[in-house]
Amino acid sequence: MDKRFWVCGLVMSIAALLLGFIVHGLLLAPDYAALGAMFRSDDDSQHYAHWMVLAHVLIGFAMTWIYVQGFSSGRSSSMQGLRFGLAMALFSTVPGYLIYYAVQPLPAALVIKQLLFGMATMLLLGLLVAWLQPRRKVLAELP
């Protein structure tokens, strides 16, 4: 793992955290607030913020690492990114929200929003990692 991998992983982690904030902290915040005590209060959630950061660091570096393993130099970067983002959504995001729906009394409308926003997030992250091209040698050769 060279310098480019670490830079790409960091950029992906920051992007995942920002997209997560936009989706869950802004777009879905009213839906979550309507559920009342099912989720942590704003004050209580501050004590767990480091776990949220860790989760997004894991997302960023894991997506970078997996993308590096399956990168094909002969294909369009954007198509590879979309394909990769879709695979990640179908592997993690979609099953995760379906499992939450099965075990928590969440409204179906909220779960549909989570699924759609989650898939869009993964597609955007897939495009980003393809654009960053962590296996590209140009930046990896810099001191």
- Is the pLDDT score of 53 beyond 90? yes
pLDDT of residue 43: 87
Residue 142, domain member (yes or no): no
Tell me the CA distances in angstroms from 109 to 19, 31, 62, 134, one per residue in order.
20, 9, 30, 37
Residue 138, domain member (yes or no): no
pLDDT of residue 139: 46
Residue 33, domain member (yes or no): yes
pLDDT of residue 24: 95
| Residue numbers of the domain that contains 65 | 3-132
pLDDT, mean over the chain = 90
- Is the pLDDT score of 140 beyond 70? no
- Is the pLDDT score of 100 beyond 50? yes
Residue 42, domain member (yes or no): yes
Is 0.85 topped by the overall pTM?
yes
Residue 140, domain member (yes or no): no
Residue 143, domain member (yes or no): no
Measured on CA atoms in the order 43, 45, 47, 53, is the torsion positive or negative? negative
The rounded percent of the chain whose pLDDT value lies above 90 is 73
Q: Provide the number of structural domains found in the chain.
A: 1
